[in-house]
């Protein structure tokens, strides 16, 4: 199945999502990242961006579930390091001790 978007359009949407993320519009950015990842599943950068937004919005369990589906070996070094850090953050925030503090 081919994408309804050209590579240039996907790149534009990606940088638009990154811009939204940088000004803390995480929900808006996550929507764009999700659209990009759906249009081109090979765009791991969009998936990682979406997960980052989910973590920032407190959607930790959903973010953790998506992180468990990522093959870190298929990522570049910067993305791989970010995924490892996001996994640690989710594990920490979802740990029983942290859950008790939140309640």
Q: Structural domains in the chain?
A: 7-102 (1.25.40.10)
> CA-to-CA distance for 103 and 4, rounded, in angstroms?
44
For residue 14, how many C-alpha atoms fall within 13 Å in the half-sphere facing its CB?
19
**pLDDT value at position 3?**
77
Q: Is residue 99 very low, low, confident or very high in pLDDT (cuts 50, 70, 90)?
A: low
pLDDT for the residue numbered 39:
95
Token digits of residue 102: 């939140």
For the chain, how many helices (H) and strands (E)? 6, 0
State both tokens at 44.
Answer: 């791991």
Residues 39 and 3: beta-carbon distance below 8 Å: yes
The pTM score is 0.85
Nearby residues of 98 by Cβ (< 8 Å), 6 or more positions away: 92
What is the length of the chain? 103
60-81 pLDDT, tens digit per residue, is 999 999 999 888 888 889 889 9
Q: How far apart are CA 50 and CA 56, in angstroms?
A: 10
| Model pLDDT for residues 26-48, shown as the tens digit of each residue | 999 999 999 999 999 888 899 99
The rounded percent of the chain whose pLDDT value lies above 70 is 92
């Amino acid at each position: 199945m081919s994408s309804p978007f050209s590579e240039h359009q996907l790149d534009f949407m990606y940088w638009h999502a990154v811009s939204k993320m940088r000004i803390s519009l995480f929900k808006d950015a996550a929507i764009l990242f999700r659209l990009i990842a759906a249009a081109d599943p090979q765009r791991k950068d969009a998936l990682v961006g979406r997960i980052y937004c989910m973590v920032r919005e407190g959607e930790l369990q959903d973010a953790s579930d998506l992180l468990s589906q990522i093959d870190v070996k298929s990522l570049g070094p910067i993305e791989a390091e970010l995924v490892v850090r996001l996994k640690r953050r989710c594990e920490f925030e979802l740990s029983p001790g942290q859950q008790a503090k939140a309640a």
